């Protein structure tokens, strides 16, 4: 991604890394091949691992990705939390970050993650249906204004003139991954008049060529955000969940994100639900960084280090959820009811 690559033996390192990648028309790799790719990238480019950077002066907070739940709203004090299907195991392992020169490896990981998405059939959404999205994570990040750890469910109306629903449910302390957060003590259900940053109808009109798409996003977000790159990233970050319904567009967005500057790879991170994965951190100083998390085996998008994407589906009614009696889709996959 960088317009100024390092001199020296980088060309040789890139040639060695190139043999680890599949041909572009391969939609996905076997687990062993994924492991080779990830280990090769870290071995060749991350020669000097660094501990997590020491907190220093507080950065300006990043724009909010999630809509804040506001009145009118019903608040019910809850005495017990809901059961969460995602479990965590193992001890906390502090992630290691390679230097900023690992931008080429970030591009390769995003390209491979995109290859796993591209070619899948899109999911049809009728105008009378709703896109269901479920997250787990920090209440402040998820936008429901409560301190603690909880689950957020969104029902986005397919029609731009229809309202959706937000439901927040508490998680007990024992179910909060790594006990990182105190559980929230309230359940909330409220009207969501705000669609995703862009509705599906507008997203479907976007080009799927990554370079053309990136130029289009620069044009459409002109004048927004502290910088043009951050404005584009915030848009991509805001729609990366719902665009799993449109796999080819989702793949193009991943590749477009790989063309943004300042991307670094982290060998081992956890998403908001505590699942281990490979991290890609986007930095746009002075804003706080955002780290995407990908499954280390399949490179499926899992969410961020502060919020986990648990489900994306199409349902017929507000407050209806995908059938839990059968295995639900993995993050990055979709179901249709």
- Written in H, E and C, the secondary structure of 249-309 is HHHHHHHHHCCCCCEEEEEEEECCCCCEEEEEEECCCCECCEEEEECCCCCCEEEECCEEE
Q: What are the domain boundaries of the chain? A: 10-336
Q: Would you say residue 249 has pLDDT above 80? A: yes
Nearest-angstrom CA–CA distance, 3 and 12: 18
Q: What percent of the chain has pLDDT over 70?
A: 56
pLDDT grade for 187, boundaries at 50, 70 and 90? low
Nearest-angstrom CA–CA distance, 106 and 48: 16
pLDDT grade for 323, boundaries at 50, 70 and 90? confident
Q: Would you say residue 93 has pLDDT above 60? A: no
Its pTM surpasses 0.75: no
139-164 residue pLDDT tens: 777 776 666 778 899 998 888 778 88
Q: By the 8 A CB rule, do 81 and 169 touch?
A: yes
Distances from the Cα of 107 to the Cαs of 79, 155, 280, 281, 303, in angstroms? Answer: 46, 32, 10, 12, 18
Mean pLDDT for the chain overall: 71
Residues 6+ apart with CB under 8 A from 337: 313, 314, 315, 316, 320, 322, 323
Q: By the 8 A CB rule, do 264 and 102 touch?
A: yes
Q: Which two tokens stand for residue 126?
A: 């009728």
* pLDDT of the residue at 67: 53
Backbone torsions φ then ψ of 87, nearest 5 degrees: -115, 155
pLDDT grade for 71, boundaries at 50, 70 and 90? very low
Neighbours of 108 (CB within 10 A): 23
Nearest-angstrom CA–CA distance, 212 and 240: 18
pLDDT grade for 39, boundaries at 50, 70 and 90? low
* pLDDT of the residue at 7: 41
Q: Is 178 left (phi over 0), alpha (psi -120 to 50) or beta?
A: left
What DSSP line would sit under 67-113, residue for residue? PPP-SSEEEEE-SSPPP-S----S------B--GGGHHHHHHHHHHH
* pLDDT of the residue at 256: 96
Q: Would you say residue 233 has pLDDT above 80? A: yes
256-312 residue pLDDT tens: 999 999 899 998 999 999 999 999 999 998 889 999 999 999 999 999 999 999 999
H runs (alpha helix) in 182-257:
200-203, 210-220, 228-239, 247-257
Please tell me what DSSP assigns to residue 51. Answer: P
Q: Would you say residue 326 has pLDDT above 50? A: no
């Amino acid at each position: 991604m960088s317009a100024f690559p390092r001199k020296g033996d980088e060309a040789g390192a890139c040639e060695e890394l190139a043999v680890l990648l599949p041909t572009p028309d391969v939609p996905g790799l076997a687990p062993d091949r994924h492991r080779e790719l990830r280990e090769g990238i870290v071995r060749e480019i991350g020669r000097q691992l660094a501990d997590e950077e020491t907190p220093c002066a507080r950065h300006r907070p990043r724009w909010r990705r999630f809509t804040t739940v506001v009145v009118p709203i019903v608040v019910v004090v809850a005495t017990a939390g809901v059961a969460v299907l995602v479990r965590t195991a193992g001890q906390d392992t502090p992630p290691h970050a390679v230097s900023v020169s690992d931008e080429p490896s970030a591009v390769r990981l995003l390209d491979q993650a995109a290859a796993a998405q591209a070619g899948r059939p899109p999911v049809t959404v009728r105008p009378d249906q709703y896109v269901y999205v479920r997250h787990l994570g920090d209440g402040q990040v998820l936008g429901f204004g409560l301190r603690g750890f909880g689950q957020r469910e969104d029902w986005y109306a397919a029609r731009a003139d229809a309202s959706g629903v937000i439901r927040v449910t508490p998680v007990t302390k024992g179910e909060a991954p790594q006990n990182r957060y105190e559980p929230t003590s309230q359940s909330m259900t409220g009207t969501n008049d705000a669609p995703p940053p862009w509705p599906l109808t507008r997203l479907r009109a976007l080009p799927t060529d990554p370079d053309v798409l990136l130029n289009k996003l620069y044009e459409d977000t002109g004048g927004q955000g502290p910088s043009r790159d951050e404005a584009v990233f915030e848009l991509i970050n805001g729609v990366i969940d719902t665009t799993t319904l449109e796999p080819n567009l989702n793949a193009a967005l991943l590749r477009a994100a790989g063309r943004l500057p300042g991307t670094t790879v982290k060998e081992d991170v956890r998403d908001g639900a505590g699942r281990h994965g490979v991290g890609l951190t986007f930095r746009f100083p002075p804003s706080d960084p955002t780290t995407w998390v990908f499954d280390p085996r399949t490179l499926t998008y899992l969410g961020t280090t502060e919020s986990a994407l648990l489900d994306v589906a199409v349902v017929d009614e507000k407050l209806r959820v995908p059938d839990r009696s059968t295995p639900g889709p993995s993050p990055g996959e979709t179901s249709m009811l």
